[in-house]
C-alpha cells in the first residue's frame, strides 16, 4: 500500500547514484525479520512525537515491545479470502451462527431499534458483522498486545505505512486515556474488541452509546454496535435502502472490509437474519 517514489536526476547526480543513495534509507525503513526492529522503534518514537503523541504515552505504550513473529505468520497465512463466495460463506456462516444471531436480534430489539433510529443502519447488518468478526465475541483471539502487533506490522515491509498509522493511533488512544495501556489487548492485527475496530477507526468513529462516559468497545454491547453503525453511517450508509450486491449500501459495506467475499457474506447473512 505504500506509494512508489520517482527519483529525478538533477545537476551532476544521476538517477543511478540517487537510487544507490536511497537504498540504505529504504533498507532501514522496514524489515523482514527481528534484526533492526529495536533501531526502527527508536526512530519511530520521534515520528510519533511529531504526530502530537506525548513522550509519556510513547514510553508507556512501547515499553517492553518486541518483534512478534507470530503476528507475521498470521498475516502471511490469510488464505480464506481467496476462496469463492460459496466456499467462504459455507465455512464462516453455520446454522448455529444464524440461530444465535436471530436470538440476539430478538433479545436486543429495543437497543437495535434505537441505534437504527439514530444512524440508519439495520440491526441485521450489525449482528452479521459481530458474528462474522468474532462469533459474537466468542472467539479467543483477543489476547495479543495491540501495540506490539502493530509495531511488528509497521516495521514489516508489506504494509508499513498503513500499520504505522494504526500504531500511532493506538498510542493516541493511550495518550488520551480512552483505553488504559494495560487493557490494550486484542486481535493479532491490532483490532480492538469483538467488533474488531482498528485504532484509527476507534479514534474517528467510536461512540459512548450507553452514557457511562466511556467508549467501551470491549465490554459494552451498546457502544460496540452503535460505533459500528456510526462507522457505516459516516461512510455513506443510506437509511431504509437495500444492501444487496450492486447497491450503494453494498459498496458502503466494502468500507468495512475490502475483501469481496467478506462483503457478500455480510450482506447475505444480514438478509437471512433480516429478511431483506
Which residues are part of the catalytic machinery?
Answer: 133
Cα distance between residue 188 and residue 190, in whole Å: 6
Cα distance between residue 10 and residue 18, in whole Å: 9
Cα distance between residue 137 and residue 141, in whole Å: 10
Residue with cell 450482506: 267
Alpha helices in 80-198 (DSSP H): 85-92, 95-107, 109-119, 123-134, 146-155, 160-175
Handedness of CA 24, 6, 155, 54 (dihedral sign): positive
Instruction: From 246, 256, 253, 258, select the one nearest 270 (Cα to Cα).
Output: 253
* Side-chain-side CA neighbours of residue 58 (13 Å): 16
SS3 225: helix
Cα distance between residue 237 and residue 118, in whole Å: 12
Angle between helices 146-155 and 69-76 (to 10 degrees): 70
> Which class for 95: exposed (0-12), middle (13-18), buried (19 or more C-beta within 10 A)?
exposed
Instruction: From 154, 84, 130, select the one nearest 266 (Cα to Cα).
Output: 130
Amino acid at each position: 500500500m505504500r506509494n512508489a517514489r520517482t527519483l529525478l536526476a538533477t545537476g551532476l547526480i544521476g538517477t543511478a547514484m540517487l537510487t544507490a543513495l536511497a537504498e540504505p534509507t529504504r533498507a532501514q525503513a522496514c524489515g523482514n525479520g527481528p534484526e533492526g526492529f529495536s533501531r526502527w522503534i527508536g526512530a519511530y518514537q520521534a515520528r510519533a512525537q511529531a504526530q502530537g503523541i506525548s513522550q509519556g504515552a510513547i514510553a508507556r505504550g512501547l515499553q517492553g515491545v518486541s518483534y512478534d513473529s507470530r503476528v507475521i505468520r498470521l498475516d502471511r497465512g490469510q488464505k480464506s479470502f481467496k476462496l469463492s463466495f460459496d466456499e467462504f460463506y459455507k465455512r464462516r456462516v453455520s446454522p448455529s451462527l444464524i440461530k444465535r444471531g436471530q436470538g440476539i436480534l430478538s433479545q436486543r430489539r429495543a437497543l437495535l431499534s434505537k441505534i437504527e433510529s439514530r444512524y440508519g443502519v439495520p440491526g441485521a447488518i450489525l449482528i452479521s458483522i459481530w458474528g462474522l468478526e468474532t462469533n459474537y465475541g466468542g472467539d479467543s483471539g483477543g489476547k495479543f498486545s495491540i501495540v506490539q502487533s502493530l509495531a511488528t506490522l509497521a516495521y514489516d515491509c508489506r504494509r508499513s505505512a498503513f500499520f504505522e498509522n494504526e500504531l500511532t493511533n493506538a498510542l493516541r488512544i493511550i495518550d488520551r486515556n480512552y483505553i488504559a495501556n494495560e487493557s490494550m489487548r486484542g486481535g493479532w492485527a491490532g483490532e480492538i474488541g469483538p467488533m474488531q475496530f482498528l485504532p484509527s477507526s476507534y479514534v474517528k468513529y467510536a461512540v459512548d452509546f450507553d452514557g457511562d462516559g466511556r467508549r467501551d468497545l470491549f465490554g459494552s454491547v451498546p457502544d460496540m454496535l452503535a460505533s459500528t453503525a456510526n462507522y457505516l453511517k459516516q461512510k455513506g450508509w443510506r437509511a431504509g435502502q437495500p444492501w444487496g450486491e450492486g447497491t450503494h449500501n453494498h459498496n458502503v459495506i466494502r468500507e468495512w472490509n475490502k475483501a469481496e467475499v467478506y462483503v457478500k457474506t455480510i450482506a447475505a447473512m444480514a438478509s437471512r437474519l433480516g429478511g431483506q
